[in-house]
Amino acid sequence: MEDAPITTSTPIAEPARSGLGVDALRRDIVDNLICLQARYPEIATPHDWYMALAYTVRDRMMTRGVATGHAYVSHSAKIACYLSAEFLIGPQLGNNLIALGIENNVRSALRSLGVELDALIAIEEEPGLGNGGLGRLAACYMDSLSTLEIPAIGYGIRYEFGIFDQEIRDGWQVEVTDKWLQKGNPWEIARPDIAFYVNFGGRTESETDEQGRLRVRWIPGYTVKGVACDTPLPGFRVNTCNMLRLWKSEAIESFDLQDFNAGDYYEAVHEKVKSETLSKVLYPNDEPESGKRLRLAQQYFFVSCSLQDMLRLLALKGEPVGRFAYLFTAQLNDTHPSIAVAELMRLLVDEKLLPWDEAWDITRRALAYTNHTLLPEALETWGLPLFQSLLPRPLEIIYEINRRFLDEVRHRYPGDDARIARMSMIDESGAKRVRMAHLATIGSHAVNGVAALHTKLLEETVLRDFAELWPERFRNVTNGVTPRRFVMLSNPGLASLLGEAVGEHWATDLAKLRKLDEYADDAAFQDRWRRVKRANKDLLAANIRSATGIAVDPAALFDIQVKRIHEYKRQHLNALYIITLYERLRLDPHLEVPPRCFVFGGKAAPGYAMAKLIIRLITGVAEVVNNDPVVNGRLKVVFFPDFNVKNAQFIYPAADLSEQISTAGKEASGTGNMKFMMNGALTIGTLDGANVEIREEVGDENFFLFGLTAEAVERVKREGYRPADYVCANDELHGVIEAIGSGRFSRGDREMFRPLLDNLLNHDPFLVLADYAAYVARQQDVSTAWQDTRRWNRMSILNTARSGKFSSDRAIREYCEQIWKIEPVRIALERRR
Ligand SMILES: *Cc1c(COP(=O)(O)O)cnc(C)c1O
């Protein structure tokens, strides 16, 4: 055999797998196409090209990821661990190109191969590993952590089936299983060597060891293995590339040999299937469904794996267990990971043999808790029998923590039995339940709400006794969103205009947008601003057309409400307004109504009948309004199916008006409101969540405020709210209710919306009817403002200009300084050949 011939073509100067130039990228894309996809260019499908490109980009990130990991182990730097049951990270390709700053070079490299980058970006399936705001927040925070060069790891669950895909059939939501892993996931690195065992069920035994210590042994009913799957998350134009580490459950052995040898083949396979079920599917509810054993098992599974991994890293750093809280901090994203309090205690006391007091000190100093809700039905609790049977040892630890805690409370408030009962980790008012918010609060050194109003209400209501006992532990960290994904990637037209106006650094220093104030009245700048918005609306119009068949006029006011469908978010209030306008046009076809296009999007939990009926009302109104000649195209109503991060990226930038109309006191923060604002939408909204701070920043004259305040809502309820009175007092509202009841929006079916109307007229727990008149009036102001183009453009520019506070970079800096006490670590790249 002869050696391969020596090639004579000009060598590419840049090293394989890390070069960022066009030639190196082109060479490596083709190499990956051949070596990893086993295809040659002439027959490659778009998906082959996508995979080849994704691996090419991943290689560049690995250089950074490995350097980052090495630095974290060799430095004594503290690492922020973000524990979250959900990470809604969205499509990765476009974002990673922007982070690395290689979008243009990749575009050129592909073009020279006859392939269009945008077509490849468009075919990527997003990992739907979250329900909505909470999971997306975790993803925005991971982006900021890497960009700010903060040592961090995201810990969660690698669901095989994420949030369902939503289809609309016959006007109703239909859920379709999400198959995001079907074609393989090029971003993920499986780490079979990083795996931990997690116990469930069984019983405990205590014994005294040689040193005379009481030791508890957990004899589990069964054990599951958690295997790490890593996704690198690069920072923007820095070398830091942190990992999102998601746990996948596996059976310990492929087959239980004992069962197998005993001939019980099916039993052996059954055990395997049971273990692998753990990380199979994400619960598609925004709030907990009570009593779902599998859900509690998922929470314990990922928390235990994550804490064991942190202990492994501590050992790798060559540090003793006593240093745990100096080298790690774990943020609990809502109560889903709150079992961490008991599990860290178990690991330290049972496995590392630390004395209880020392373990408790470490646990409290390491953990911090973010509360996300005040809704009583969304506060997580678990029935004692279920908890006992699934997690007997953690429950014993919870009892012991509670016993010691209640002694402390008794000491502080002697004789106050009511307070003891209120603060206990066990709710004994009915069938006994474990209160996870209490567990999280008692086991953390810091507790935070997610907007100023939310934190205030938290301290006054659900955690009041705790805020009184430990006022120094409570603080606010208002949520934020990443301007890289939600402006730079989603709205490239706006991004380049911003770069020209305020300089290139706005994307990592969003306060710089303030400089836009100077341009608010500049006619030439306003025109460019308007053209950017118009291009975004053209794009949304095209997407609406292909997704729904509905033609909308991009010149109309785009009035958008996208978020999970929930009664407290009041999509039905918006629908009542649309019907109001429609009824006005029916009465007076010549009425002057500036053209408006109402766009809705969002998923309803599969078991939430009222939310699904609200979707049906919207699609019913759309069907009638869009086709009635009386309307003559002046109003259009669209339900955009399958709202997810990928669709969000072309929806937020196209909005003129952002609907943030939740009942005051119910939305903890909201983050959609911030994405709209950054992209130049004006808000019509209540004084709820972060809307309060948005209005503060932008000024009341640039915000359409309406509705009852949180205090007024409580007062109205206290005084006996009678929703039907509002219908009697308002002819227009009466007409709207009648129209819905008449079957006008349900193809003549008078029964379809009965449950919705009954609920509104007799209960209306979210005060839709009480806020109706104020909402309709404020919408009239919106129409008036819209007709004055100059005024509207000015307000739009000012909204973007004053959105700097809502960058997730600001939020992460606050977590670092106030809660985690962590500083950035700069990552150096060695040149590799
Ligand atoms: C931002 C976002 C949300 C949260 O929206 P809210 O209006 O704050 O409820 C939900 N889903 C997706 C896909 C998002 O991007």
Task: Determine if ligand 1 sits within 6 Å of the CB of residue 648.
Answer: yes
Active site annotation includes 372: yes
**Atom number in ligand 1 closest to CA 486:** 15
Question: Could you give phi then psi for residue 51, rounded to 5 degrees?
Answer: -65, -45
Catalytic entry in 64, 564, 596, 634:
564
Mutate which of 164, 286, 564 to test ligand 1's pocket (most atoms within 8 Å of Cβ)? Answer: 564
Name which residue sits closest to atom 7 of ligand 1, judged by CA: 672
Q: How far apart are CA 137 and CA 143, in angstroms?
A: 10
Name which residue sits closest to atom 11 of ligand 1, judged by CA: 132
Q: Are residues 118 and 134 in the same domain?
A: no
Token pair in block for residue 620: 């019913």
Q: Are residues 97 and 144 in the same domain?
A: no
Say how many Å lie between the CA of residue 63 and the centre of ligand 1: 32
Mutate which of 88, 373, 486, 490 to test ligand 1's pocket (most atoms within 8 Å of Cβ)? Answer: 88
Name which residue sits closest to atom 9 of ligand 1, judged by CA: 563
* Amino acid type, 690: A
Task: Determine if ligand 1 sits within 6 Å of the CB of residue 69.
Answer: no
Q: Are residues 146 and 239 in the same domain?
A: yes
Token pair in block for residue 686: 């209540």
Decide: 435 and 427 in contact? Cβ < 8 Å: yes
Catalytic entry in 147, 231, 455, 671:
671
Task: Determine if ligand 1 sits within 6 Å of the CB of residue 295.
Answer: no
Say how many Å lie between the CA of residue 425 and the centre of ligand 1: 32
Say how many Å lie between the CA of residue 600 and the centre of ligand 1: 12
Helix (H) or strand (E) run with residue 250 in it? strand 241-250
Q: What is the pLDDT of residue 475?
A: 98
Q: Are residues 400 and 416 in the same domain?
A: yes
Indicate the number of domains in the chain.
3
Judge whether 217 lies within some domain. Answer: yes
Active site annotation includes 675: yes
Q: Name every residue whose Cβ is closer than 8 Å to that of residue 785 and which is 6 or more positions away in sequence.
A: 682, 704, 791, 792, 795
Judge whether 396 lies within some domain. Answer: yes
Q: Name every residue whose Cβ is closer than 8 Å to that of residue 430 and which is 6 or more positions away in sequence.
A: none
Q: Are residues 401 and 274 in the same domain?
A: yes
Q: Name every residue whose Cβ is closer than 8 Å to that of residue 558 and which is 6 or more positions away in sequence.
A: 537, 540, 597, 599, 654, 655, 656, 657
Task: Give the number of other Cβ atoms within 10 Å of residue 659's Cβ.
Answer: 29
Nearest CA-CA partner of 514 in 103, 126, 800: 800
Say how many Å lie between the CA of residue 772 and the centre of ligand 1: 24
Say how many Å lie between the CA of residue 672 and the centre of ligand 1: 5
Write down how long the chain is: 833
Q: Are residues 206 and 256 in the same domain?
A: yes
Say how many Å lie between the CA of residue 166 and the centre of ligand 1: 15
* Amino acid type, 478: T
Q: How far apart are CA 739 and CA 618, in angstroms?
A: 14
Decide: 100 and 254 in contact? Cβ < 8 Å: no
Q: What is the pLDDT of residue 105?
A: 98
Active site annotation includes 800: no
Task: Determine if ligand 1 sits within 6 Å of the CB of residue 132.
Answer: yes
Question: Could you give phi then psi for residue 792, rounded to 5 degrees?
Answer: -65, -45
- Please report the DSSP string for 728-795 in residue order: HT-HHHHHHHHHHHTTTTTTT-SSTTHHHHHHHHHT-TT-HHHHHHHHHHHHHHHHHHHHSHHHHHHH
Q: Are residues 100 and 185 in the same domain?
A: no
Decide: 196 and 304 in contact? Cβ < 8 Å: yes
Task: Determine if ligand 1 sits within 6 Å of the CB of residue 644.
Answer: yes
Domain region containing 608? 549-804
Q: What is the pLDDT of residue 13?
A: 80
Q: Are strands 172-176 and 165-169 parallel, antiparallel or unpaired?
A: antiparallel
Say how many Å lie between the CA of residue 562 and the centre of ligand 1: 7
Catalytic entry in 596, 675, 805, 810:
675
**Atom number in ligand 1 closest to CA 671:** 8
Nearest CA-CA partner of 655 in 581, 600, 603, 615: 600
Judge whether 136 lies within some domain. Answer: yes
For residue 391, the number of C-alpha atoms closer than 13 Å in the C-beta half-sphere is 28
Find residue 474's DSSP bridge partners: 447
Judge whether 542 lies within some domain. Answer: no
Q: How far apart are CA 760 and CA 757, in angstroms?
A: 5
CATH classification of the domain holding 593: 3.40.50.2000
Judge whether 283 lies within some domain. Answer: yes
Q: Are residues 13 and 143 in the same domain?
A: no
Say how many Å lie between the CA of residue 664 and the centre of ligand 1: 18
Task: Determine if ligand 1 sits within 6 Å of the CB of residue 768.
Answer: no
**Atom number in ligand 1 closest to CA 88:** 13
* Alpha carbon separation from 307 to 74, 114, 157, 352, 363 (Å, rounded): 20, 48, 14, 13, 11
Q: Are residues 756 and 680 in the same domain?
A: yes
Active site annotation includes 671: yes
What is the phi-psi region of residue 143: left when phi exceeds 0, alpha when psi lies from -120 to 50, beta otherwise?
alpha
Name which residue sits closest to atom 8 of ligand 1, judged by CA: 670
Q: Are residues 52 and 18 in the same domain?
A: yes
DSSP class of residue 12 equals P
Say how many Å lie between the CA of residue 645 and the centre of ligand 1: 8
Name which residue sits closest to atom 1 of ligand 1, judged by CA: 672
Token pair in block for residue 477: 């960290």
Catalytic entry in 136, 158, 438, 563:
563
Q: Are strands 426-427 and 381-383 parallel, antiparallel or unpaired?
A: unpaired
Cβ-in-10-Å burial (0-12, 13-18, 19+) of 132 comes to buried
Decide: 660 and 186 in contact? Cβ < 8 Å: no
Q: What is the pLDDT of residue 1?
A: 47
**Atom number in ligand 1 closest to CA 644:** 13
Find residue 330's DSSP bridge partners: 81, 367
Q: Name every residue whose Cβ is closer than 8 Å to that of residue 83 and which is 6 or more positions away in sequence.
A: 155, 156, 302, 303, 306, 330, 331, 332, 333, 337, 340
In the three-class reduction of DSSP (H, G, I as helix; E, B as strand; rest coil), residue 162 is classed as coil
Judge whether 639 lies within some domain. Answer: yes
Active site annotation includes 179: no
Judge whether 539 lies within some domain. Answer: no
Say how many Å lie between the CA of residue 136 and the centre of ligand 1: 7
In the three-class reduction of DSSP (H, G, I as helix; E, B as strand; rest coil), residue 71 is classed as helix
Q: Are residues 114 and 138 in the same domain?
A: no
Task: Determine if ligand 1 sits within 6 Å of the CB of residue 570.
Answer: no
Profile the chain (833 residues) by mean pLDDT over runs of 10 residues.
55 85 97 96 96 98 95 92 98 98 98 98 96 98 98 98 97 94 95 97 93 91 96 98 97 62 63 79 84 93 98 96 98 98 98 97 98 90 96 98 98 97 97 97 98 98 97 98 98 98 97 98 98 98 98 98 98 98 97 97 97 98 98 97 98 98 98 98 98 98 98 97 98 98 98 98 98 98 98 98 98 98 93 55
Q: What is the pLDDT of residue 261?
A: 58
Judge whether 204 lies within some domain. Answer: yes
Active site annotation includes 569: yes
Say how many Å lie between the CA of residue 563 and the centre of ligand 1: 5
Q: Are residues 150 and 42 in the same domain?
A: no
Task: Determine if ligand 1 sits within 6 Å of the CB of residue 563.
Answer: yes
Task: Determine if ligand 1 sits within 6 Å of the CB of residue 672.
Answer: yes
Task: Determine if ligand 1 sits within 6 Å of the CB of residue 84.
Answer: no
Catalytic entry in 372, 485, 570, 802:
372
